[in-house]
Amino acid sequence: MTKKISKTDNEWQQQLTQEQYQITRKHGTERAFTGQYHNCKDSGTYLCICCGAKLFESDTKFDSGTGWPSFYQALTAHAVAETIDNSAYQSRTQVHCKSCDAHLGHVFPDGPQPTGLRYCINSASLKLHKK
C-alpha cells in the first residue's frame, strides 16, 4: 500500500505556486497550450508536483493536439486513482495522484493503442525528471 500524504491547505499553498495549488488542490484546469509540458518531447519520468510520486513515463506521452500533456498509460496501476466527475454538464473521469490526492486531469476513452486511453493532464501538476 502506498502511504497517503496529507497536508493542510496552508501547507500546500506554501509549497506550490498559486497556479499549481489551484489545479492540484482545487481541481482547476490550466488554459490549453499554456503549460510547460504540452509540447515537451524530453525523455524522463513525470512526477507529481505535490509529492514527487512517479506518475507517467515520457514513452507513453503522445501528441494529442489538445494543448495539454497527454499519455496513453499511467506508469503503474498504483500511480493514479480515478473518480467520476459529475460537475461538468457531462460526466468525466478525474485522475488523481494516488499518494497525495492531487488533481491531475481527466482520462478519456479516445486515446491511441495499446490502451485506447487518453490521460489529459495539466502541466502544472507535473514535474519532469529528465533521464
Catalytic residues: 120
* Contact in structure between 43 and 130 (CB atoms under 8 Å): yes
Shortest separation between residue 62's beta carbon and Zn ion, angstroms: 23
Residue given cell 493514479 in the structure block: 80
24 binds Zn ion, rule: CB under 5 A: no
User: Counting contacts by CB under 5 A, is residue 16 touching Zn ion?
Assistant: no
Strands (E), 15-117: 44-48, 54-57, 61-62, 70-71, 80-85, 92-97, 103-108
Determine if 50 is a binding residue for Zn ion (CB under 5 A).
yes
Residue closer to Zn ion, measured from CB, 102 or 117: 102
Q: Which amino acid is at 90?
A: Q
Q: Which is nearer to Zn ion, 64 or 125 (CB)?
A: 125
Contact 71, 121 (CB under 8 A): yes
Please identify, using beta-carbon distances, which residue of 58 and 99 lies nearer to Zn ion: 99
Amino acid present at 18 = Q
Q: Quote the least distance from Cβ 99 to Zn ion, whole Å.
A: 5
User: Least Å distance between CB 48 and Zn ion?
Assistant: 3
Cell numbers 503549460 correspond to: 35
**Residue ranges that bind Zn ion, judged by CB under 5 A:** 48, 50-51, 53, 97, 99-100, 102
